[in-house]
A and B are shown apart, each in its own frame.
Chain A
């Protein structure tokens, strides 16, 4: 158990819908990262927050957004969902910058 929690574990929705994925970092970790893993792909970095502020952006679509709240939990919002958005979405956290990242169990999103 890495100490990073993600909810929900599974999410099934339809094209065009919007969903919110939630991540709670390890106690004391200020930095949160979101990654996407599509079928048979490596993990692709989406976005990073540090102590509430956006720190870095990767290949994140404009339909996707995220935020980190004052209690340091983070939410990833995915809107206008397409079939190709079906993937595993992982959250990771670290103490600061830079530091080893610890991953949550992931949310499996299925878009039908």
Chain B
């Protein structure tokens, strides 16, 4: 049962443009959402998170949007840079429940110079 889904396994974006990565979840008990970035042969690196009490959180070039009614979140990267090429995982958990993270299967983002 895939509770967190990233339906696009890959995405290519021109350098300088906006990258939009999408994530859907099915468990309405999730109330904390995170995005991680992963380079080959490295562990995931935390990027940005959002609590379910918010619908937007920004950190520099990264913005995460949460639509609770649609059970959908997205990560916007603008402007996209070559160093952003990596696999991006979204993850979710329940803040005051079981604290394990449930991950999506990842989206491989390639920034084209």
- Name A residues whose Cβ lies closer than 8 Å to a Cβ of B: 2, 4, 6, 31, 33, 35, 40-45, 48, 55-56, 58, 90, 92, 97-98, 100-106
Contact = CB atoms under 8 A, between A and B. Distances in A.
Given A48-B100, A98-B96, A98-B99, A42 B42 contact: no
18 contacts: A6-B43, A40-B105, A41-B105, A42-B106, A43-B44, A43-B89, A43-B101, A45-B100, A45-B103, A92-B43, A92-B101, A98-B95, A98-B96, A100-B46, A101-B46, A103-B44, A106-B42, A106-B43
B19 interface: no
Interface residues of B, number: 25
Given A90-B43, A98-B96, A101-B46, 4 more contacts: A42-B4, A56-B100, A90-B44, A100-B49
A6 B42 CA distance: 11
Contacts of B99: 31, 48, 55-56, 97-98
Interface in B10-43: 32, 34, 36, 41-43
Interface string B69-100: 00000000000000000000101010110111
